[in-house]
Structure 1
Amino acid sequence: MKKTIAKVLPKIIGNGLNAVSYVAPKYASAKALDIFATPRQGRFTEKHHPFLDTAKQLTLPHDNHDIQTYNWSGSKTTIMLAHGWESNTYRWKQLIEMLQQLDYNIVTLDGPAHGKSSGTQFNAILYSEFINVVANHYKPDAIIGHSVGGMASVFFQHKYQNEALQKMILLGAPSEFTNVFKNYVNMLGFNKRIENGLNDLVLERFNYKPSHFSAAKFSKEIHLQGLIIHDKGDKIIQYDEAELISSNFKNSTLITTEGFGHGLRDDSVNKAIINFIKA
């Protein structure tokens, strides 16, 4: 029953806002953007706390936001981790434990409206600003981003060209914001009024059209060592997004997996990450 409701609900919402768009198109588009930017999951549950409590926790300010960070101290270089949509720091538990065994200094953050960080809405642009604040504080040598955390990492480095950073690892990362938007429009069955209104709102709020926000395009100006890992069967972010980033990220290597899906939760992936960091 729950699965049936979950499948039907997006279309019900889409049809409702489509109807509203005939009389109040800007309102309908604004509601659609709010839904798009509001995570339904990603906060912590009780089972997460024992692991998180093993880290030193620090809250950093950014404008009107509080950014929650975690640090597992080590004597080696600093590795920073940025999770994806509707997730949080806990998603890195297995990789963190492997890095701890090798005595790396590990830093993570919760994205906007995720984990213990403040806010009710999320977007990759704001997330990239969070990443910049945390990177300036902890000075990581390498950054690892999963999904939109990878996209936000590219946005951050493209804009700020952080000089301490040497390596970037992107896991299942999307390239084109237009594709992310289009998938959302298709999932909810929005009409052209709302689709065009969404594009107009992005331009109004961020001074650029959605097509400007391209990890592939931005990666042309990133001069780090890069590792891109993407699964052929990723149903959330298509594999060709990784190929597009890889073709533009000059000093990068693309590793293709099969059977791990979007989450890429496998020891072989973690080992490939560690080998890249070690090199």
Structure 2
Amino acid sequence: MFEKISQLLLVKTVGCYVNIMSFIAPEKSFALAYKLFSEPRKGRLKKVLLPKTLLDADFKTHIYEDHEFQTYTWTPDKTQQSENKGNDEIILLIHGWESNASRWKKLLKHLKKTKKTIIAIDGPAHGLTSGKEFNVPQYAKYINLIVQEYNPSIAIGHSIGGNALAYYQAHYKHNINKMVLLGAPSDFEIILKNYVRLLSLNSRVHQSLIAFTKKKFNITVSEFSAAKFLENSTINGIVAHDQDDKVVLFEEGKKISNAWKTSQFIETKGLGHSLHDAYLYQTIVDFIEK
């Protein structure tokens, strides 16, 4: 309890500092607000301490502009090299905020039964991927590079990774025909409002973040929505969301599913945001193999 109170006080103190600076040195204040919003505090990995799940994969470092990003490939036959791309169909895994490719440990046990090649990405500023800033458009660029190289037909995203997949399929050419979103948020506007509320930021800072989003990504906050990205999609999909999700509102999952006409909605209870569940994972496998 004491630790939670201390963390809350620290967060509010930082927010107070940003608010004060918005009047004294506004540019510095706005830059700090965005840095705090976009820089993960967890989810990094070290090559010398990789989780056992990832040691079982063939891993490769890809270069994009001035960044390196990491992928991990599991083929149905370990004698095959990842360059051979394994089975005819490939499954792409996209993790969420402050996580990395090892979060798929429990799902991997089920996916390997399909005998398909599986590729997982470490997102920007996560795992072994370089950088300090995480954002969905950058994540989508990494997804696109892997899709162009390996041509996966199935994609699974958790949390903001699901949002990145929705953004990707709306902005890039691809051959993905099945997609699964697990505990994914829909509207960036809500994510931003939650951040502003958490730090108790004033309207000056809030409006600066809205303007910065428009300038940096050429999209308004209201348009930055997984539901809108998927409303014209013909990809077959699953949207799974738990009633007890404390990170992303249950209504966000419903909003995505309602907009995405070729998806089915799976409602769970008691799984929280992680959605780790053998029955759910078997349902996903059945959907993949259908």
TM-score (norm 1): 0.96
Higher mean alpha-carbon deviation, 92-101 vs 81-90, is at 92-101
Q: Give the match for residue 55 of structure 1.
A: 57
- Checking the alignment, whether the CA contact within 8 Å between 1:80 and 1:106 is kept in structure 2 is yes
Counterpart selection for 1:99 from 91, 111, 125 = 111
Alignment RMSD, CA only? 1.4
- 1:237 is aligned to 248
C-alpha separation in 2, matches of 1:250 and 1:206: 27
Report the equivalent of 2:149. Answer: 137
1:180 alignment counterpart: 191
Query: What amino acid is the match of 2:242?
Result: D
Q: Which of 116, 121, 132 is the equivalent residue of 2:128? A: 116
1:12 deviates by 0.8
Distance 2:262 2:96 in 1: 24
SS of corresponding position for 2:267: strand
Q: State the Cα distance separating 1:135 from its structure 2 match.
A: 1.3
Partner residue, 2:43: 42
Task: Name the CA distance, whole Å, in 1 between partners of 2:6 and 2:255.
Answer: 35
Are the structure 2 counterparts of residues 266 and 48 from structure 1 closer, same or farther at C-alpha, using a change threshold of 3 Å?
farther
Asked whether the 8 Å contact 2:114–2:285 carries over to 1, the reply is: no
Query: Retained in 1: the 8 A contact 2:60–2:70?
Result: yes
Give the superposition deviation at 1:99.
1.5
Stretches of structure 1 lacking an aligned partner (at least 5 in a row): none
Q: Does the 8 Å CA contact 2:101/2:122 hold for their aligned counterparts?
A: yes
Query: After superposition, what is the alpha-carbon deviation per residue over 1:37-71, rounded to whole angstroms, capped at 9, x for unaligned?
Result: 00000012666433212111111222221120011
Q: Is residue 15 of structure 2 the alignment partner of residue 14 of structure 1?
A: yes
Moved more, 118-127 or 17-26: 17-26
CA distance in structure 2 between the partners assigned to 1:231 and 1:47 by the alignment: 32
1:1-29 CA distance string (max 9 Å, x none): 43332222111100111111112223211
Contact 1:25 1:197 in 2 (8 A): no
Residue 168 of structure 1 contacts residue 227 of structure 1 at CA under 8 Å; is this kept in 2? yes
How many residue pairs get aligned? The number is 278
TM-score normalized with structure 2 length: 0.92
CA distance in structure 2 between the partners assigned to 1:165 and 1:85 by the alignment: 23
Query: Equivalents in 2 of 1:258, 1:131: separation in Å?
Result: 30
% identical aligned pairs:
38
Secondary structure, aligned partner of 1:226: strand
**Do the aligned residues in 1 keep the contact of 2:70 with 2:128 (CA within 8 Å)?**
yes
Cα distance, 1:76 vs. partner?
5.6
Aligned to 2:95: 83
Distance 1:203 1:9 in 2: 29
Partner of 1:149: 161
Distance 2:11 2:51 in 1: 32
Q: Deviations over 1:146-193 (max 9, x none)?
A: 00000000101101131x211010000011010010000001100001
Find the counterpart in structure 2 of residue 215 from structure 1.
226
Deviations 1:97-132 (A, max 9, x none): 222233121000000000011111101111111111
1:66 to 68, 74, 79: 68
Q: Tell me how far 1:276 sits from its aligned partner.
A: 1.0
Q: Partner amino acid for 1:44? A: L
Pick which of 228-237 and 205-214 moved more. 205-214
Runs of 4+ in 1 over 4 A off after TM superposition: none
Q: Which amino acid aligns with 1:190?
A: L
Q: Give the alignment partner of residue 126 of structure 1, picking from 116, 122, 138.
A: 138
Kindly indicate whether residue 228 of structure 2 is the aligned counterpart of residue 227 of structure 1. Answer: no
Whether the 8 Å contact between 2:111 and 2:285 is mirrored in structure 1 is yes
